[in-house]
Amino acid sequence: MRDERRLSNPIFNNRKLKLGTFQSNLDYGCLMADVEGRLKISWPNTVALAKLADEMEFEALVPVARWRGFGGKLNPAGPGFETYTWASGIAASTEDVGVVATSHCSINHPIVAAKQGAVIDHISNGRLILNIVTGWNKPEIDMFGVEMLPHADRYDMAEEWLHVVKRLWTEDGEFDHTGRFYKIVKGYLQPKPIQRPYPAIMNAGGSERGRHFACKFCDLVFTALGAPSFEQNKAQVEAYRRLAREEYGREVAVWTSANIIQADTEEEARRYSDYIVKEKGDWEAVTFALDTLGLNAKTFSPEAIKHLKELFIAGWGGYPLIGTKEQVVDGLKMLSAMGLDGVLLSWPRYEEGMREFKNVTYPLLVQTGLR
């Protein structure tokens, strides 16, 4: 099958460093702190961010499929927009940016997901990216009354789920499917998505099983940069590419996330970062979030856990880009030099920070040739 998706989906363009936004469908965005100017989720607010991204020709708007918040004083990520319906509205409100729908295999049936994805692809004229999540948040899974499967089984389910979705997107006739997790009788989908052979697929598999799933079946891999050194992060990025090439004969794009705290001086930016974390951070909520993710004292030292909590309070664990506009651009250049294809950005004061980025920082980034 010919891959014609680069004709419509900006995620496949030739820019050296692609950009996106992260968690702009949720209250507080990526933040776990009560700072003035933080994102308060409303339709006008989330559309404003999407339009800013569209004006800068960003390649991806990535929402997070959250069904409940993380408690604490603020319950960050509690209120928020469901991602398929969000992506439909954002697709209709933008012109060029890639629009992501994030889907939990455990609670989104593949026939419904394929149909909704096809509709979003039509609304966006071929800009849909489907982000597949196998499900790690047990309180959310419990809320649906379904079983949270063991780790390996979740990826077995995801493989079967995606197999059914791709068949619906590509096969013209009806088909039956009897698998371990799904039974499909006379499966049928029309109209097909605009993107051929099917829309772009994204996944954030980090475990060994997850990395194989992402490299075998997906176009984009999202990875969190956990290492303190440039060389370790570069090796982490390259490991995905090598696995995709050597095991599966494929190319994958590797993305990460970064949190921008920008000011006129580095000292001022760092002072604001400390204010967010130490004075305004919701430590109860971040503790619950990391426990749910399984990031706790069993595998990390107390110092490492404290550092993780600070990163999550400031920007959901995104790589910290703190300093002047020049330092932010230098940071993005460094991420590109690690071999990354794209970076999902967030700001504590989401709209204000994004407007400053557009007017002040983005022109400098363009001058580097990365855009």
| pLDDT, position 358 | 98
Q: What is the DSSP string of 218-268?
A: -SEEE-----SSHHHHHHHHHHHHHHHHHHHS---EEEEEEEEEE-SSHHH
Q: Which parts of 62-206 fold into alpha helices (H)?
A: 83-93, 110-123, 138-143, 151-170
The tokens for 77 are 């990520």
Among candidate residues 66, 93, 164, 84, the one with its CA nearest the CA of residue 129: 84
Are 350 and 39 spatial neighbours (Cβ–Cβ below 8 Å)? yes
Are 5 and 12 spatial neighbours (Cβ–Cβ below 8 Å)? yes
Give strand pairing partners of 130: 101, 201
Q: Which ranges of the chain have pLDDT less than 50? A: none
> Which sequence spans correspond to the domains of the chain?
5-366
| pLDDT, position 1 | 58
pLDDT tens digits, one per residue of 143-183: 999 889 999 999 999 999 999 999 999 999 999 999 999 99
User: pTM for the complete prediction?
Assistant: 0.96
| pLDDT, position 3 | 79
Are 240 and 215 spatial neighbours (Cβ–Cβ below 8 Å)? yes
The tokens for 41 are 């989720």
Alpha carbon distances (Å) from 341 to 10, 104, 243: 13, 25, 16
Query: What is the maximum alpha-carbon separation in the chain?
Result: 63
5-366 — its CATH code? 3.20.20.30
> If DSSP codes are grouped into helix, strand and coil, which group holds residue 343?
strand
| Alpha carbons 287 and 284: distance in angstroms, whole number | 5
| pLDDT, position 217 | 98
